[in-house]
A and B are shown apart, each in its own frame.
Chain A
Amino acid sequence: MNRHLSQRIGFGFTALVTLVVVAPILLVVGIIVVRGIGTVNWEFLTAMPRDGMKAGGIFPAIVGTLILTVGTALVAIPIGIGGAIYLSEYARDNWLTRAIRLAIVNLAGIPSVVYGLFGVALFVIFLQFGTSIVAGSLTLALMTLPIVISTAEEALRVVPVEFRTVSASLGGTTWQGVRRVVLPQALPGIITGVILGLLRAAGETAPILFTVAAFYLPRLPSSPLDQTMALPYHLYVISTQVPGMPIGVQYGTALVLLALVLSMNIVATIIRSYFRRRRQW
């Protein structure tokens, strides 16, 4: 009898701990939604900021984040998918491949602020891009790369080996097999990975602090060498650097950023589960 009581206590304890883990997550999202929703309206989303960002909207920050995300995608997607194809379809199990895997683990572990430092040293100063969208996108792309490579490789690897053998037995070369058979099968998984990587880039602040972000720039950027405002940096600025900022604007900005990132997250999850249910193998 005693043992069963202790089992009940043990199970109850793990349930309690899980509640302690999960409840604050819902609390964070809940508080930001409740306190921010009153500020978010059409004007807030589409107007330029006014009165030292205390009034008006956050349009340039939203557009800036979208531009940076596209810039990141342009660089990270081709390099990332190429690297993943190499690792899953071409690489042999030797020291060179192990070195590549080590490099990916390392890239994934480098703190985001160190990416920012590197971006300053290489893109802003050495290559003379200045504080610009190009410099910021390249920095973010580098940071996103390990996520894209590892998720894309995983997606390629779950395609059964028979697909490749059949392609080869029909006379296809390795590349033909990859291009026409394996890649289409793995595409949903790859897209999911790319979105997950990009949403991290969209929410990051530290790498763009000194490579692209503008404190206050109430217009849209006109060239890739322009600075731009960005949502995460804007939230940081208005919550720490500007005294007397209305709390509603802060929560509204936090809500827009959160909604953007979480909706991308949900899209990725839906793509993954939709295609997982549909696939035949």
Chain B
Amino acid sequence: MNVRVAGVERIVKRLSGLRRVRRAGGSEFAIETLIRVLGFSTIGFVLLIFLFLLREGIPVFFETTLDNLFGQQWYPTFDLLGTLPILLGSMLVTVTAIAIALPLGVLTAVFIREVAPEWTRDVLKPIIEVLAGIPSVVLGFFGMTVLAPFLRESLGIPTGLTAFTGALLLAYMALPTIISVAEDALDAVPKGYRDAALAMGATEWQTIWRVVLPAARSGVVTAVMLGMGRAIGETMAVMMVTGNAARMPLSLDSLFRPIRTMTATIAAEMGEVAQGSVHYHALFGVGIILFVLTFGINLMAASAILKKRRRGGLR
């Protein structure tokens, strides 16, 4: 949209606003008020969610010691509610997943945008959309019945239900997001960069590798953030394939051992817990940690996107 049209639009908006005051009937006023309320409602929902998590989670701080809450043992039956092992479990799985998904996602985006002929692109995009649509419980089921036995045999480990199995599934679940963000980042690189590099005699590959990819770097940060936000909150697939042992993942081989994440802890224990017990409040406490973590991660991703938009003069 060019500047003049935007100006016209603003004038028309103002004029039609005036007319509305003069002529619009009561029902129209009611509808517009309703739309305004619906527009603002999302803020209300976020506050409501946070409020109710706090309401059920805060009591745990008065019911047990901080030492216990940040301890290394999560055995709720013995009132041991140390969140450290499950926090580290989530971190280990998430970071590994991103380490796998990022190179795969960026190179796939390069292939789709820069290398592949058009017909290949038209085949690839729907397949990747299918991946985004597969319910996480179905992926978890596949992980349990196919991937875990396969990893157990090929790696020679005692059980296939490990942090690594979860990370692999999470990596594929994060891929559609990472690929589409990386594609947008490649798209946003000014055409002049490419032209200049090609004019200097660089091959297409040199242009992509040394000019386009470095210029799209900031988009990669966004991709990592969004992928992490997705991965850390994922529940069912992770719960079904990581073995759910709440141990501190500190040894070198923890990646290939069972582990437990925060999301899996909530999902597995919430069903059996007595309402109002210390354990119940502790699970909401874990929910608060998850809420704050994902809020922070998405905030960073969103501000990176907004900054780019502003710099690029969009909107």
Contact residues of A with B, CB < 8 Å? 3-4, 6-7, 10-11, 13-15, 17-18, 20-22, 24-26, 28-29, 31-32, 78-79, 82-83, 85-87, 90-91, 96, 99-118, 120-122, 125-126, 142, 145-146, 149, 161-162, 164-165, 168-169, 171-177, 199, 202-206, 209-210, 232-233, 235-236, 239-240, 247, 250, 254, 257-258, 261-262, 265, 269
> Does B271 sit within 8 A of A, measured CB to CB?
yes
Residues of B in contact (CB 8 Å), total 99
Contact residues of B with A, CB < 8 Å? 1, 5-6, 8-9, 12-13, 15-17, 19-20, 23-24, 28, 31-32, 34-36, 38-43, 45-46, 48-49, 52-53, 55-56, 103-105, 107-108, 110-112, 114-116, 124, 126-131, 133-142, 144-146, 172, 175, 179, 203-206, 208-209, 229, 232-236, 240, 263, 266-267, 270-271, 275, 283-284, 287, 290-291, 294-295, 297-299, 301-302
The listed residue (A86, A165, A177) touching B35 by CB distance below 8 A is A86
> Count of A-B contacts with CB under 8 A?
287
The listed residue (B43, B48, B111, B129) touching A265 by CB distance below 8 A is B129
- Can you list 22 residue pairs at the A/B interface with Cβ under 8 Å? A10-B209, A14-B108, A17-B108, A21-B105, A25-B128, A28-B134, A29-B134, A86-B40, A90-B32, A102-B302, A103-B43, A106-B294, A106-B298, A111-B263, A113-B290, A116-B270, A142-B49, A168-B15, A174-B20, A236-B137, A236-B240, A250-B141
When distances are taken between beta carbons in the complex, the residues of chain B under 8 Å from A145 are 42, 45
Taken together as a complex, chains A and B put the C-alpha atoms of A203 and B234 apart, in Å, by 13
What is the distance, in angstroms, from A186's C-beta to the closest C-beta of chain B?
15
What is the distance, in angstroms, from A262's C-beta to the closest C-beta of chain B?
6
Across the interface, do B236 and A86 meet the contact criterion of CB distance under 8 Å? Answer: no
What is the distance, in angstroms, from A254's C-beta to the closest C-beta of chain B?
5
What is the distance, in angstroms, from A258's C-beta to the closest C-beta of chain B?
6
Across the interface, do B302 and A205 meet the contact criterion of CB distance under 8 Å? Answer: no
Taken together as a complex, chains A and B put the C-alpha atoms of A121 and B232 apart, in Å, by 22
Given known contacts A25-B127, A91-B39, A239-B240, is B175 in contact with A232 (CB within 8 Å)? no
Across the interface, do B115 and A110 meet the contact criterion of CB distance under 8 Å? Answer: no
Nearest A residue to B111, CB-CB: A14
